[in-house]
Amino acid sequence: MVAPPNSGSIFYNYKGTHSIVLLAIADAEYKLVYTDVGRNGRISDGGVFKRCSFAQALRENKLGIPVPESLKNRITPIPYFLIGDDAFAMNANLLKPYPGTQLTGLHRIFNYRLPRTRRIIENVFGKPEV
């Protein structure tokens, strides 16, 4: 993108180009449930999420997220959650990869499998109409 006149470095992102940020949340059926577009590229993805109305509603428990449930043949209730990448801050309803390179076997497996679920949002924008 070409930065607006007199905008200085506000749209200048970490990749060295000018941009605006599109934050999108999709469900497992490729349906967009939330979008936020137009924040300047200088703000990180995690910063955009932290400031968006969806995150505010999540923090205030206003989204109607069901109470945690036990998975089939399990006892411990598991909360419903979003999947994010390293840019996001983890909380009770947002999972992200374990940081670092010196990880245990289970943490490496988790980090391998977690991004596979994030492909949903990536495919939302590239999935042809059916």
Please give the Cα distance from 48 to 40 (Å, whole number).
Answer: 9
pLDDT at 75 exceeding the cut of 90: yes
Residue spans per domain, the chain: 20-124
Pairing assessment for the beta strands 20-26 and 32-40 based on DSSP bridges: antiparallel
- CA 33 to chain centroid: 12
Q: In which band, very low, low, confident or very high, does the pLDDT at 53 lie, cut at 50, 70 and 90?
A: very high
* 98 pLDDT more than 70: yes
What count of Cα atoms within 13 Å lies in the side-chain half-sphere of residue 40? 10
Model pLDDT, residue 110: 92
pLDDT band at residue 55 under the 50/70/90 scheme:
very high
Among candidate residues 55, 119, 124, the one with its CA nearest the CA of residue 83: 119
> In the structure encoding, which two tokens stand for residue 57, read together?
């509603």
Q: What is the mean pLDDT of residues 51-68?
A: 92
Structure confidence by residue, pLDDT tens digits, 18-28: 999 999 999 88
pLDDT of residue 127: 63
pLDDT at 128 over 80: no
Does this model's pTM top 0.85? no
